[in-house]
Homo-oligomer: A and B are copies of this chain.
Amino acid sequence: MLIQRIESEGLSHYSYLLGDAGHAVVIDPRLDVDIYIGLSMDQGMRITDILETHRNEDYLIGSAELASRTGARIWHADSGLPYRYGQSASPGQRWGVGRYTLEALDTPGHTPGSLSYLLREVSGAPWAVFTGDALFAGDVGRVDLLGPDRADDLGRQLYHSIFERILSLGDGILIYPAHGAGSVCGAAIADRPWTSAGIERLLNPRLQVGRDEFVAAGAMAQERPPYFRHMEELNLEGVRVPNLPFPIPLSPKDFQESMSGSVVLDLRSETDYGAAHIPGSQFIWQAGLASLAGWYLSYDTPILLVADGGAEAAVRVLVRQGFDNVRGFLSGGMLAWHMAGHDSHSIPMISVKDLDRILAGGEHPWILDVRSAEEVKKAPFSGANHIHITLLQQRLDKVPRDRPVYIFCGSGMRSMVAASLLKRRGWSDLLVVLGGMAAWSSVVRQQPGAR
């Protein structure tokens, strides 16, 4: 049998192609579906069914596109929703995959109608479960997306789904979730790429507590990227993207002429951006796009890209989140920009040692710490002002304009994202601390800001 996991870079999204004896099924396809078609063709398999574990909120699902190109049927979970395409799957429903069988398990919690899919051996014995956003390696699905009123109830449902529907199948059952480490759908997903029911029962910290504590933990509202709502709507429509839009190379002149009304998104390294960037541009490093684009970009504003080399991978990540309005990218990069005589801006960067010297010297700089609450809790920087990177736009009034702002995060990357936002909003005296907490704890070897 073929069990192939397809990992979508950036989103830490896992989809699956299962196949046997000339037939194949795809679970939770991503929008750029060529990979499923290519893999199934290589194996001589016909994709007959597309199974969804839930109505997704964090990326555009590729079911409609894949169905239109293969003739496969689409089976939705969350069957009460007003989908405009496909049909609803029911708990207990079965699909053949050659000699094997998939069966829908009712596993509500992350959403009210979430399904998992149980893969049974030829003999009928349970073998593996595709758990969607119900159960991850090291974490469980969020239950806060319908709002605080529903979180308790959904949390109880999720607890039941995990313990009574999934783990009860036996410790040996293989677990195939819809996300891996790095996803916005589970902050604590472990860096454990393959797992089983038994491993999770023992090692997943969310499963080590009783039901009440489990429910209470789930009810703590997490951040919700503004683009989620847009995804939810589009996933009811059934978006089709026959070809990924490719970013048009723009000469410095054409690029500059396109800038009015657009946002310039700079995807290079934090140091390269700090050294020289197009005035007014927003920095998000490429691998940070999946988790930050939804907070920093708007669906209404066309995007212009500045990147090292090609911008295709970035476009792919953006389109999967619904940002399909990329006008082009700067051909020749910043070198071409400079050679055309255009101006660039810079943002000063300092090392943790220099910051330490400043603090030791008795200065009291205003330090902005953009890490998450969890990170701050684990390794606090006393004296710093904490605003999570995703909330900065709403709390700009907390940041002083009349004194130097030193920006701090885990590595320096998010600090530069914050710096570029502040600069676009008019701040001028900004410094980014390179290496962030990782550097600080390697070198300064004590609580930052402790003195």
Of the candidates B127, B202, B331, which one forms a contact with A22 in the assembled complex, judged by CB atoms under 8 Å apart? B331
**Cα–Cα distance between A173 and B199 once the two chains are bound (Å):** 7
Identify which of residues 165-199 in chain A touch chain B, using a CB-to-CB cut-off of 8 Å: 170-174, 191-199
Q: Are A338 and B434 in contact (CB under 8 A)?
A: yes
Q: Are B198 and A173 in contact (CB under 8 A)?
A: yes
Q: Are B341 and A440 in contact (CB under 8 A)?
A: yes
**Cα–Cα distance between A343 and B434 once the two chains are bound (Å):** 9
Q: Are A196 and B196 in contact (CB under 8 A)?
A: yes
User: Which of A121, A199, A343, A436 has the most chain B CB atoms inside 10 A of its CB?
Assistant: A199
Of the candidates B45, B127, B200, B248, which one forms a contact with A199 in the assembled complex, judged by CB atoms under 8 Å apart? B127
Per-residue contact bits, chain A 305-332, to B (CB 8 Å; 1 contact, 0 not): 0001010100000000000000010011
Which of A207-215, A346-354, A393-401 faces chain B? A346-354
Contacts of A45 in B (CB 8 A): 249, 331
**Cα–Cα distance between A270 and B333 once the two chains are bound (Å):** 12
Copies of this chain, tallied across the complex: 4
Q: Are B338 and A439 in contact (CB under 8 A)?
A: yes
Contacts of A193 in B (CB 8 A): 1-3
User: Which of A70, A174, A196 has the most chain B CB atoms inside 10 A of its CB?
Assistant: A196
Contacts of A250 in B (CB 8 A): 46
Q: Are A344 and B339 in contact (CB under 8 A)?
A: no
Q: Are A271 and B196 in contact (CB under 8 A)?
A: no
**Cα–Cα distance between A233 and B410 once the two chains are bound (Å):** 52
**Cα–Cα distance between A40 and B247 once the two chains are bound (Å):** 11
Of the candidates B174, B243, B436, which one forms a contact with A196 in the assembled complex, judged by CB atoms under 8 Å apart? B174
Q: Are A44 and B331 in contact (CB under 8 A)?
A: yes
**Contact A340/B439 with A172-B197, A332-B44 known, Cβ cut-off 8 Å:** yes
Interface size on A, as a range, is 35 or more
Contacts of A249 in B (CB 8 A): 22, 40-41, 44-46
Q: Please give me the residue from chain B that is nearest to A354 by CB atom.
A: B343
Q: Are B341 and A435 in contact (CB under 8 A)?
A: yes
**Contact A341/B1 with A69-B246, A174-B199, A312-B41 known, Cβ cut-off 8 Å:** no
Task: Give min CB distance, A205 to chain B, whole Å.
Answer: 10
Which of A86-94, A147-155, A272-280, A290-298 faces chain B? A272-280
A242 at the interface (CB under 8 A from B): yes
**Cα–Cα distance between A192 and B119 once the two chains are bound (Å):** 11
Contacts of A346 in B (CB 8 A): 275, 349
A251 at the interface (CB under 8 A from B): yes
A423 at the interface (CB under 8 A from B): no
**Cα–Cα distance between A411 and B340 once the two chains are bound (Å):** 10
**Contact A344/B172 with A125-B202, A203-B123, A332-B44 known, Cβ cut-off 8 Å:** no
Q: Please give me the residue from chain B that is nearest to A24 by CB atom.
A: B249
Q: Are B127 and A192 in contact (CB under 8 A)?
A: yes
Per-residue contact bits, chain A 25-69, to B (CB 8 Å; 1 contact, 0 not): 000000000000100111011100000000000000000000001
Task: Give min CB distance, A43 to chain B, whole Å.
Answer: 8
A431 at the interface (CB under 8 A from B): no
A81 at the interface (CB under 8 A from B): no
Q: Are A411 and B331 in contact (CB under 8 A)?
A: no
Q: Are A442 and B170 in contact (CB under 8 A)?
A: no
Per-residue contact bits, chain A 223-255, to B (CB 8 Å; 1 contact, 0 not): 000000000000000000011001111110010
> What residues make up the interface of A, taking CB atoms closer than 8 Å to B?
1-3, 20-22, 37, 40-42, 44-46, 69-71, 121, 123, 125, 127-128, 170-174, 191-203, 242-243, 246-251, 254, 268-272, 274-276, 308, 310, 312, 328, 331-335, 338-341, 343-344, 346, 349, 351-353, 411-413, 434-436, 438-440, 442-444
Additional 16 contacts, C-beta under 8 A, given A335-B412, A340-B442: A1-B192, A22-B332, A44-B331, A45-B249, A46-B331, A170-B171, A171-B171, A171-B172, A172-B198, A174-B194, A194-B194, A308-B308, A340-B435, A340-B439, A341-B438, A341-B444
Question: Can you show 10 pairs from A to B with CB atoms below 8 A apart?
Answer: A22-B249, A41-B249, A44-B249, A44-B331, A173-B199, A174-B199, A271-B276, A339-B442, A340-B442, A341-B439
CB-CB nearest 5 A-B residue pairs:
A172-B198, A341-B443, A275-B275, A341-B442, A338-B435
